[in-house]
């Protein structure tokens, strides 16, 4: 397989690795849990309000009414419990996908940059190739795989660990994007030296978010700040993946044109 074909194969892997999650998906679980709690509370208040007239009813009517209310109460409790459990399962699924796409994206990009360095090496740009390899080696050390299944189980057992998951998802993508910025800069300079400069310009940069501050704000707002934190954990990688598509598509297009011109 030629080096260009290897690069194209690495790019094709993004259809699976670079999963762009709908930003509304994580909030489905929050909505379901909230609805479950509202229904449960509403059922409890309705039962309390109905208890007073029940005390004044005849014995026979009271028994009939009590049975009906018990059935309705059980139904309300069952519905609310089902919504809460379903919301919890969706949240765990979302967390699994967050971590899984992190692992797959980091693995795919390391493969791509190795092959890109080999390509530039073959074109006589040893200095550019070695610079890319140095950054890739740093990425391999800092971007070790995190077991999605293990972290889901740990959060299920010790709920507070969800904040550590939030932390590393936030920070890992930021560090990853900073490393990639150097690689993309080296690749752009290499393509310019080869006579096929890239026109790509970054449209989104992942901010360096203060996760300690985010954690404190989550505690102070009794979890309300989590809504924003969940949003950025979902959206930052989404935007990063879109940047990848723009950069990789133009890069491979210029490489193919370069190869055609040298035939």
| Percent of the residues in the chain that have a pLDDT greater than 90, as a whole number | 63
Provide the token pair at 6: 């290897």
Q: Is the pLDDT of residue 249 over 90?
A: yes
Q: What is the pLDDT of residue 82?
A: 79
Q: Are 18 and 241 in contact, with CB atoms under 8 Å apart?
A: yes
Residues of 230-257 as b/e, b for ≥16 C-beta within 10 angstroms?
A: bebbbebbbbbbebbeebbeebbebbee
Distance CA 171, CA 167 (A): 6
Distance CA 32, CA 45 (A): 20
CB count within 10 Å of CB 106 equals: 20
The domain limits of the chain are 94-261
Q: What is the pLDDT of residues 107-158, one digit of tens each?
A: 999 999 999 999 999 999 999 999 999 999 999 888 889 999 999 999 989 9
Predicted model pTM: 0.84
Lowest mean pLDDT among 86-95, 151-160, 233-242: 86-95
Mean pLDDT, residues 22-37 taken together: 85
């Amino acid at each position: 397989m030629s080096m260009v074909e290897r690069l194209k194969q690495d790019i094709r892997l993004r259809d699976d690795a670079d999963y762009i999650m709908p930003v509304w998906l994580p909030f489905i679980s929050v909505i379901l849990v909230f609805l479950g709690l509202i229904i449960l509370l509403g059922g409890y208040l309705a039962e309390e309000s109905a208890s007073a007239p029940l005390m004044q009813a005849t014995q026979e009517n009271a028994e009939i009414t009590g049975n009906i209310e018990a059935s309705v109460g059980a139904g309300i409790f069952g519905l609310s419990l089902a919504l809460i459990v379903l919301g919890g399962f969706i949240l765990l699924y979302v967390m699994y996908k967050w971590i899984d796409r992190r692992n797959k994206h980091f693995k795919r990009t390391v493969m791509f940059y190795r092959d890109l360095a080999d390509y530039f090496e073959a074109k006589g740009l040893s200095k550019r190739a070695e610079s890319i390899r140095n950054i890739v080696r740093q990425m391999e050390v800092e971007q070790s795989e995190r077991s999605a299944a293990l972290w889901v189980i740990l959060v299920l057992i010790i709920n507070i660990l969800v904040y550590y998951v939030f932390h590393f998802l936030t920070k890992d993508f930021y560090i990853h994007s900073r490393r990639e910025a150097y690689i993309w800069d080296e690749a752009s300079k290499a393509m310019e030296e080869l006579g096929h400069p890239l026109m790509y310009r970054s449209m989104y940069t992942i901010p360096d978010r203060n996760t300690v501050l985010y954690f404190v704000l989550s505690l102070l707002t009794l979890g309300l700040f989590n809504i924003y934190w969940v949003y950025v954990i979902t959206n930052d990688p989404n935007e990063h993946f879109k940047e990848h598509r723009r950069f990789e598509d133009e890069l491979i297009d210029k490489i193919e044109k370069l190869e055609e011109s040298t035939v």
